[in-house]
Structure 1
Amino acid sequence: MDAALEVLLSEAAIAVRVRELAGQISEDYRQAGSLLLVGVLRGCYMFLADLSRRLTIPCRIDFIAVSSYGQSTTSGAVRLIMDLRSDIAAQHVLIVEDIIDTGRTLEYLTRLLGARRPASLKTCSLLIKEQSIRRGIRVDYLGFTIPDDWLVGYGLDYADRFRALPYIATLSPAARRTLG
């Protein structure tokens, strides 16, 4: 393993929690008929794949992509890059995120998709940073609360690197400077 990485969540710990989340979601939606999982690209792909394979209820998958800009310096506005391919009206929808950092993306998506009149709209995130909890951001299905560090692995990246790691690790500030 790279010296710049320190494992925060092992592959085994992630697998256990994903199984638990899938069980809870399957139970909650058992009578719903079908569930539409809306994956927020790009970081959600590993989590969404593992979660969807462990669900015991019928589900479909669609994707949405958003871009946050100015988070470190100005407004932190969010804009839609790629919309869903399907109509979600009268469907049970679960937004699936890899990580909730500031909460702005989740707030934006909840407003955007809620206006499309789904039968229900809930949220699922593998990770939430402590700062988002302090801001009052709530998630219906949550994997782990994590410190306000820069994380990589299991879909999370830094400069498009480290996404394919099977675990989640912190990336040291020195490594971030080096990778630019």
Structure 2
Amino acid sequence: MHQLIKKVLVTEEQIIARSKELAKQITNDYAGKEAPLFVALLKGSVPFLAELVKHVEMDIEFDFMDVSSYEGTESIGDIKILKDLDRSIKGLDIILVEDIVDTGRTLTTVKQTLLNKGANSVKIVTLLDKPDRRVVEIKAEYTGFEIENEFVVGFGLDYNQKFRNLPYIGVLKDECYR
């Protein structure tokens, strides 16, 4: 365990096992239909996307958006699209891949943006859900783990761009950000 981590909330083994379960659910939900386009939100969702898609049993494509709403440990509520999709999504079903659903602001804005661009449907798959922090009502169709209101890092999640490479989800020691 990293010296600045107070505790591990979700182990690497748990993440892999749950990613397999979510991939099976998605595969079953889209059986006999055209495969959805997976749209991952940079940068945090990349490790989760990589683990998830290894287990999806259909030919899929993925693309990326880069959106920002955080400074330090707090969502500032101002959503900025820094990188848009590289292709048209008109008429496509989308699986929006996120690392964590926190306040709900980012996902609500991105989901509506994708629908406005002509997506047929937008479903959300998230590694983590933190419902106690929700200020905008949104629910993921596929959720890895529900967690308490603690600031977490690892497996893509960061604190000031650090700790993304940890293979687990952990809670930083308080002295790191207070």
**TM-score of the superposition, structure 2-length normalised?**
0.92
Distance 1:132 1:32, change over 3 A: farther
Counterparts of 1:123 and 1:162, CA distance in 2:
24
Q: Identify the residue that residue 33 of structure 2 maps to in structure 1.
A: 32
Superposition RMSD in Å = 2.0
Counterparts of 1:141 and 1:34, CA distance in 2:
16
Answer yes or no: is 1:18 the counterpart of 2:19: yes
Distance 1:72 1:175, change over 3 A: closer
Distance 1:59 1:156, change over 3 A: same
Distance 1:134 1:64, change over 3 A: closer
Shift of 1:156: 0.7
Letter in 1 for 2:49: L
Specify the SS of the correspondent of 2:82: strand
Specify the SS of the correspondent of 1:126: strand
Return structure 1 stretches of 4+ with deviation > 3 angstroms. Answer: 69-75, 132-136
Conserved? CA contact 1:32–1:92, under 8 Å? no
Q: Identify the residue that residue 150 of structure 2 maps to in structure 1.
A: 149
Distance 1:75 1:39, change over 3 A: closer
After superposing the two structures, state which structure 1 stretch, 115-124 or 70-79, moved more: 70-79
Specify the SS of the correspondent of 1:161: coil
Matches within 5 A, 1:21-100: 21-68=22-69, 76-100=77-101
Deviation string 1:38-63 (CA, Å, 9 cap, x unpaired) is 00000000000111111001210100
Counterparts of 1:13 and 1:119, CA distance in 2:
32
Structure 2: which 5+ residue stretches go unaligned?
none
Q: Identify the residue that residue 4 of structure 2 maps to in structure 1.
A: 4
Conserved? CA contact 1:71–1:77, under 8 Å? no
Shift of 1:137: 2.4
Q: Identify the residue that residue 117 of structure 1 maps to in structure 2.
A: 118
Distance 1:76 1:26, change over 3 A: same
Conserved? CA contact 2:75–2:103, under 8 Å? no
Conserved? CA contact 2:105–2:135, under 8 Å? no
Q: Identify the residue that residue 103 of structure 1 maps to in structure 2.
A: 104
**TM-score of the superposition, structure 1-length normalised?**
0.91
Distance 1:30 1:111, change over 3 A: same
Conserved? CA contact 1:70–1:76, under 8 Å? no
Conserved? CA contact 2:66–2:84, under 8 Å? yes
Specify the SS of the correspondent of 1:24: helix
